Structure 1
Amino acid sequence: MMPSALRPTVLLLAAALLWLAGIARADTELRFEFTHLEAGLPAPAPDLTITDVFSGATLAALPQEAPEGSAILSLMLPDSQFDGPYARLRVVVGGLQLPPGDSKSGEEIRFAFEIVLRRDLLEGPVVLRIPVVTTSRRQAMKPYMSMPDLIEELPDRFFLAQQWMSLYRASPEAVAAAPQAFALHRLIARAVVDFAIATADGRRGPVLILPSPELAQTLDLYWSSMPKGQQTHMAAYADARTILWLDVPLAEDLLRTARRSGIEAPAACAAAREHLEFFARRLPEGEEAGWVDALFPVPGTLEGYLEGRRLDILFACTRLRI
C-alpha cells in the first residue's frame, strides 16, 4: 500500500508526465513515398484519398519535393484524429499507370488498404514506401509469389500484389467460365494474405497495415471454385483484419505495473483505462465480431474479456485511489 504522505507527490508526478506527453504529441507527419521498381522512369503520379475510419473525415495529402523518379505525398495528422491510443485511416491509391509501350499502359492502377497508428510507439514521421510496378508481364511477378525469407520484405509484396490484381482484375463470369485460367490471380491473392500472417507474428511496431474489405470480395471471387483454399485464405484475411485486437491483452501488462505501485502506477492505471475504453467503444461489427470473439476463448467473447479487465482495474487502481 502506498503511504498516504507520498500519494499527492506521486499523483503530481504522474500528472506532469501525462502533461508532458500531451505536449510531445503534436501533429504526426505521415509520408507516402512512391518509386518505380525500375530506375530511369518518370516519377509516378499517385492520387490518394485518405479517410479517417473513426470520424469519416477526409484528410488531404499534399505533394512534397522528392528525389528524381519518386513522388512523395505528406499529411500532418493532428492529435485530435487519434481515438485514445490509436488512429485508423483508409487509403485509396489511384492514378498509377504503367510506362508507355506496355500492353496495359492505358489502364489505371487502383488499390486500397488501411493503416493503424499506435500513438504510444510513434517517435517521428511515419513513412510508407510503396513500390510501383513497371510491367504487366507475368514473368515479372514470379519473384513476388514465393514466400519471402524476411518479414521486412512483405510490405513491398503486399503493395505490388494489389497493383497486379488491379491490372488483371476479372469478372465473376470470366472466372466461372475458365476457373483454371485465373491461377495467377489466386497466387497473387495468396501473396497478399501471407503478408498478414507474417505481420501478425512480427514485432509490435508503430504502424499496422491492414487489407481493405474489398480484398475479401477479390479472394472470394478467385477462390470460389476451390472451397478448401477459399476457407484457408479467408481465414488468413480475417487474421489480417483483426490484428489490432491482439493489442487488447496489453491492458494486463499495464495492470501488472499498477499492482507494483510506485511512481509508475498512476500512469499505468490511466493508460489501462484508456486502452480498454477504446476497445469497448470500437467493438467490431458484423462478421468481424465473430472473428474477434474467437481470439478470446476464455471467457468466450471480447466483451467478456473487457469486463474482466475492468474488474482488475477496480482492484489494482481503486485501492490506490487512482
Structure 2
Amino acid sequence: MNEIKIFCPATIANLNCGFDVLGLCLEGIGDEMIFRKTSQKGITISKITGADLPLETNKNVAGVAALAIYNTINPDFGIEIEIHKKIKAGSGIGSSSASAAGAVFCVNELLGKPYSKNQLVDFAMKGEAIASGSEHADNVAPCLLGGFTLVRGYNPLDVIRIDSPSELFAVVLHPHIEVKTSDSRAVLKPEISLKSAITQWGNLGGFIAGLYTKDYNLLGRSLQDVVIEPLRKHLIPNFDLVKNNALQNGALGAGISGAGPSIFALCKGQETAEKVAYAMSNSYQETGIEFDMHISKINPNGVIEIKK
C-alpha cells in the first residue's frame, strides 16, 4: 500500500456522567484524509482544506500524532498528509480527535499494521494534547474503535469498547460559535464534594449497565451530570431551554457534547430522534446564532478506508 484515503468520524464525549472516560462514534459527520508514501523520510502536511490550521508537522494535531507512531518504527520512507476538514474546530464533536485518530490509523496501515486499534489510541492522544493541553482518550477512542468506549484507566491505558443498543440515536445541535477545550476546562474546579462524586459514580455505572442490558430507561436515568454541566452550561446560549425541550419531546437524556458548544440528546428510535431534533432546533432559533442539526445512529466502525 502506497496511498490510503479515509473517513474520520465525529464523536460525542463525556455523555454527562462520564467526563473524560466515555465517548461514542457518530455516522455521516467526519473529515477525510489522504496519506501517501514519499521517498523523503519524515512526516509532511501538504494540504489542508476546510480550516485554517498549521502545515507545520509539530504544530498540527495530525502531524504530532503521525510522528508519535512513525518514530517508533523509523521506516525508510516518508509520509505526506492531506487533511480535508468537515468537522469545525471547537465544535464539541471531536474535530481534533478525528485528525489525530485518522493520522495514527493511516500511518499504521502504511507501516504494515504493527499496532492494534487499541494500541493506536495511545498514539492519537499525543496529537489530542496539542489541541486541548492534556492527553485524553474519550474522543479518539470511539473515533478509532467505533461504538461506545469507556476509558477505565490511563496508567496504563485501558479502553473497553461497548456495542450500542440497536435503536439508539444521537441528535446533535451544533451552534456556529467556538468554545475552545482549553477555555471550557479552565472553568472546572479541581475538587468536588463526596456527595457529587457518589452521584456521578452511580450514574456512570448505571449507563454502562444500560448499554450491556439494552435498557433504554436505565440509560436515560443515568444521563445526569452533577459535576461538569453546572460549571460549563453558561458558555452555551439557551442551553437549559434546549435540553429541557429535548427531554419533554422524548429524549432519554441530553447534555453538553464534549467541551461544547454542541448539545447532544440520546433517543430511542429514529422517529423520536427527529421529533427531538425539531424541538431542539426551535429552541435555539431565538438566539439568532446559526447552527447545524445532525441525527445519527451510533457508528460501529470508527475510522474506515474509503475504497476507490
More strand by share: 2
Q: Which protein has the larger Cα radius of gyration, Structure 1 or Structure 2?
A: 1
TM-score normalised by structure 2 residue count: 0.27
Higher relative contact order (CA 8 A, sep 6+): 2
The alignment's TM-score, normalised by the length of structure 1, stands at 0.26
